Amino acid sequence: MSLITRLRLSSTYLPLAQPISDAKVLTGRQKPMTEIAMLFVEVETDDGHQGLGFSYSKRAGGPGQFAHAREIAPALIGEDASDIARLWDKLCWAGASVGRSGLSTQAIGAFDVALWDLKAKRSGLSLAKLLGAYRESVRCYNTSGGFLHTPIDQLLVNAAASRERGIGGIKLKVGQPDGTLDIQRVEAVRKHLGDAMPLMVDANQQWDRPTAQRMCRIFEQFNLVWIEEPLDAYDHEGHAALAQAFDTPIATGEMLTSAAEHGDLIRHRAADYLMPDGPRVGGITPFLKIAGQAEQAGLLLAPHFAMELHIHLAAAYPREPWVEHFEWLEPLFNERIEIRDGRMLVPTRPGLGVSLSEQARTWTREQAVVEQR
């Protein structure tokens, strides 16, 4: 047994170099994003092992995640760190009055990731190897260069730079009130990069059903890898209709916050590419349940954000997946992920293969320590 003796929780705010705008901003539903609230959990055991986990929220929810995590953390003290599935349930029941999805499970996610990181480190294996890797590298695509606040000229520069860096695909944000601007941007990038470069688009839930039908039909000509979130994240019937009607695959799932919600999406056949977000669904334990359902349904996988975690989870998925390249989180960690020939190399260091940087400590606004007495 490896008993948990100490937990350190950190509420850390990562500033973004410039305000980020997608279609939700241009349609007036949200304000530009200026920072990401990170929840870090560091777990220690009586035999000297340590694990690091994290979750996050964007625009709102950071203080709530930290508060919930601080409330439920004592439930882990004295427990065997190896009993990860049981401990996930214990944390869930510790905060059951606020539900089993959303903010509550996102707080649990940081603990769950930390326990899996610890388990892999104890085994001397990377997380991917512990889970049973199918591959040593994963196809990757870049999103951070394609936001709607980026002018077309700069969009072309960013896309070319990503390709030269060795990134395998480019994703562009669409969903503007004027759809002709979306078409112009996609057409310009496709022409600039050529037909062979994998290209995706993401509407961030901003189209209604008639608009989505029309835009998906227009985008068929651009040979896209997928069209992401053309409709509201919970409109499974609408997504299913698009997936059936068009050759271009439909991708969705990033906004769902539990395994149960993903199960409903899968039953509706609402996606060709499933895009679960590990921290959002509650960590690695529920992510693996989702991946199992997705594999059985014959779906492709493209986890959302947090490449430092999802590179490992994608490497353990049977069908060839994609991982989203976002450099935003890099200042938080001392290590970097290597990219080569369009693919992201799976780290071979034990666990997640990352450690918190001094910069992350500097950006920390609040901490809590829970330990055995």
- Note the Cα 329 to chain centre separation in Å: 12
Neighbour-count burial of 30, counting CB atoms closer than 10 A to its CB (0-12 exposed, 13-18 middle, 19+ buried): middle
59 appears as a binding residue in the annotation: yes
Ligand-binding site membership of 90 (annotated): no
Angle between helices 152-165 and 179-193 (to 10 degrees): 40
Maximum alpha-carbon separation in the chain = 65
Q: Would you say 232 is a known binding-site residue?
A: no
Strand extents, DSSP E, the chain: 4-20, 33-45, 50-58, 137-142, 169-173, 199-202, 227-228, 250-252, 273-274, 300-301, 322-325, 339-340, 343-345, 364-371
Which H or E element spans position 153?
helix 152-165
Catalytic residue among 304, 310, 312, 325: 304
Question: Which is the catalytic residue, given 68, 119, 129, 173?
Answer: 173
Please report the sign of the dihedral spanned by the C-alpha atoms of residue 224, residue 225, residue 228, residue 231: positive
Q: Which two tokens stand for residue 217?
A: 């039909």
Closest listed residue to residue 42, CA positions, set 78, 7, 82: 7
Is position 58 annotated in a ligand binding site? yes
Whether 259 has a binding-site annotation, put simply, is no
Q: 363 CB contacts (<8 Å, ≥6 apart)?
A: 12, 13, 14, 15, 332
Q: Tokens standing for 6?
A: 């100490």
Extract the tokens encoding 222. 């651009």
CA angle 183, 187, 190 (to 5 degrees): 140
**31 a catalytic residue:** no
Is 204 within any annotated ligand binding site?
yes
Residue 310: active-site member: no
How far apart CA 345 and CA 347 sit, in angstroms, is 6
**186 touches 178 (CB < 8 A):** no
341 annotated to a ligand binding site: no
Q: Do 324 and 305 form a contact (C-beta atoms < 8 A)?
A: yes
Is 229 annotated in a binding site? The answer is no
Residue 289 marked ligand-binding: no
Please report, in range form, the residues annotated as the binding site for substrate.
Answer: 22-24, 58-59, 171, 204, 324
Please report, in range form, the residues annotated as the binding site for Mg(2+).
Answer: 202, 228, 254
The residues assigned a catalytic role are 173, 304
